[in-house]
Chains A and B, each alone.
Chain A
Amino acid sequence: MATLGDLERAVMDVLWSTENPLSANDLRDRLHASNRDGARDVAVTTVLTVLSRLEGKNFVSRDRSMRPHLYRSVTTRAEHTAGLMHEVLGTAPDREAALARFIGSVSPAEAQTLRELLGASTPTAR
């Protein structure tokens, strides 16, 4: 059984992979076709629940002018990832990252020193 989080990701993957807005029925069919774990036999009502959650998170916008309602992704996956990465790298303007990274901020001089060390330490360079 897939969790709601897995289904959200499956729905977003479908929406991100297409240009056109989709109805809940279209989405269910594509989820079935994708043959992903837990998405194979999902019901339309479940898809609708997932879609309204995603709409609440501002990932999905709904076109109510038509019947059935049509859904599309608000921004591309790459834009979301870039935003997330700004947060991780502490370059987001509005928030300081509360995340401990493997390597924190490194000054350009420090990075340069390390590059030289890595270059100089190959056996051939000795």
Chain B
Amino acid sequence: MFFTSVVLLCLAVLLAWPVPLLLARAQWPSRAPGTALVLWQAIALAGGLSMIGAFVTYGLIPFGPNLLTALRELVRHLFDGTLPDDANLGHIFALCIAVLFTGHLLLNLALTIARTERQRNRHLSLVNLLSAPMPGRPDTRVLDHPAPVAYCLPGMTRSVTVLSEGLVSLLDAEQLKGVIAHERAHLRQQHHLVLVAFKSWHSALPWFPIANRAETAVGLLVEMLADDQARRVVDDTTLATAIALVASEGADRPDGSTLEHLHAGDTAEGVVGSRIQRLLSPRPPLSNTARVAVLVVSVALLLVPTLLLIVI
């Protein structure tokens, strides 16, 4: 068990620091955002499992040779109020850490989901009162406000895409179609579920810079996935122009301007910049072999700590 605990701790440290840092800097995720999203989730889950597993296995060393018997022994000792002879403060401390850390993560997830859900429902009822459905598009609503915004409200029974008057007047029909397709993709692919998980991870570990990086990276990947769906409906330049117009709030621009004549590298930094650059100078999608390799790595990441815990 001591060996298992050391291996799990090493895995946890790797997954908590160098691995996500490398992935956040890598260039390939923009060529296969869906695959990269799977890898991010595997890293987060396997990292948490390894960290908790390392403390559990270390704390259970005096209770038995493997996880199952040791857990059974632990329960017996808890009922009797006794401790094995060779248990020391370190073992008890490790067990307490494991319980507290697990509780903290799960409680935070539950709270974040509940808070998000409540906020979203309140928001949706306000939107329903303040806006009318778009003619011919019952799931799209237009808010009477000059700031150009578009967002979606995922719901249990019915999801709604909200546009502002400012956005509708800023964009032409084709660009608007792209924006709506983008928001629909978020709803259809249930992106809010991934986002809320990473948001809760970040809020549970606010002092941990990697959690922040992960949340940002996942946020960008989700936008790229939605952009890829929108590209099936409108062409790349239209979508890129819509993104640039909304981001710059359309001030001081000549009518009918597009990004057609832009060169790669001209674009701005940051999330918006990477999205525009990706649309205007597309790089070939990741090869199937590479995708499969990433998926295999993701599954392996989850299997290794699980097997270490069960088998040894």
Q: Which residues of A contact B (CB under 8 A)?
A: 5, 8-9, 12, 57, 59, 77-78, 80-82, 84-85, 87-89, 95, 98-104, 106-107, 109-115, 117-119, 121-126
A100 in contact with B149 (CB, 8 Å): no
B248 in contact with A118 (CB, 8 Å): yes
A82 in contact with B145 (CB, 8 Å): yes
Q: Of A111, A112, A115, which is in contact with the most chain B CB atoms at under 10 Å from its CB?
A: A115
A88 in contact with B151 (CB, 8 Å): yes
Q: Which residues of B contact A (CB under 8 A)?
A: 115-116, 119-120, 123, 125-130, 132, 143-145, 147, 149-153, 162, 164, 179, 182-183, 186, 191-192, 195-196, 199, 219, 222, 241, 243-249, 251-254, 256-262, 266-273
27 contacts between A and B (CB under 8 A): A84-B126, A85-B143, A85-B145, A98-B116, A98-B196, A99-B153, A100-B192, A100-B195, A100-B219, A100-B222, A101-B149, A103-B150, A103-B243, A103-B247, A104-B219, A106-B248, A109-B268, A110-B247, A113-B268, A113-B273, A114-B268, A118-B257, A119-B253, A121-B258, A122-B254, A122-B258, A125-B254
Contacts of A98 in B (CB 8 A): 115-116, 119-120, 196, 199
Contacts of A89 in B (CB 8 A): 147, 149
- In-complex Cβ contact of B262 among A95, A112, A121, A124 (8 A): A121
Contacts of B164 in A (CB 8 A): 85
Contacts of A8 in B (CB 8 A): 128-129
Q: Considering the complex of A and B, which 5 residue pairs feature the smallest CB-CB distances, nearest first?
A: A102-B150, A114-B248, A113-B268, A98-B116, A115-B248
A115 in contact with B251 (CB, 8 Å): yes
- In-complex Cβ contact of B247 among A88, A114, A125, A126 (8 A): A114
B141 → chain A closest CB, angstroms: 11
Q: Of B144, B149, B183, which is in contact with the most chain A CB atoms at under 10 Å from its CB?
A: B149
CA distance A121 to B162 in the complex (A): 30
Known: A85-B149, A110-B247, A119-B252. A100 touches B116 (CB 8 A): no
Contacts of B143 in A (CB 8 A): 81, 84-85
Contacts of B123 in A (CB 8 A): 84, 87, 99
**Further contacts, 6 of them, CB under 8 A, given A88-B149, A99-B120, A103-B247:** A81-B143, A81-B145, A88-B151, A110-B270, A118-B253, A121-B257
Contacts of B266 in A (CB 8 A): 117
Contacts of B268 in A (CB 8 A): 109-110, 113-114, 117
Q: Of A9, A12, A81, A126, which is in contact with the most chain B CB atoms at under 10 Å from its CB?
A: A81
Known: A87-B123, A88-B149. A9 touches B257 (CB 8 A): no
Residue in chain B with minimal CB distance to A97: B119
Residue in chain A with minimal CB distance to B191: A100
CA distance A122 to B143 in the complex (A): 30
CA distance A103 to B261 in the complex (A): 22
B245 in contact with A99 (CB, 8 Å): no
CA distance A119 to B259 in the complex (A): 9
B94 → chain A closest CB, angstroms: 35
B179 → chain A closest CB, angstroms: 6
Known: A102-B246, A121-B258. A5 touches B150 (CB 8 A): no
CA distance A105 to B126 in the complex (A): 23
Contacts of B182 in A (CB 8 A): 102
Contacts of B262 in A (CB 8 A): 117, 121
Contacts of A77 in B (CB 8 A): 130, 144
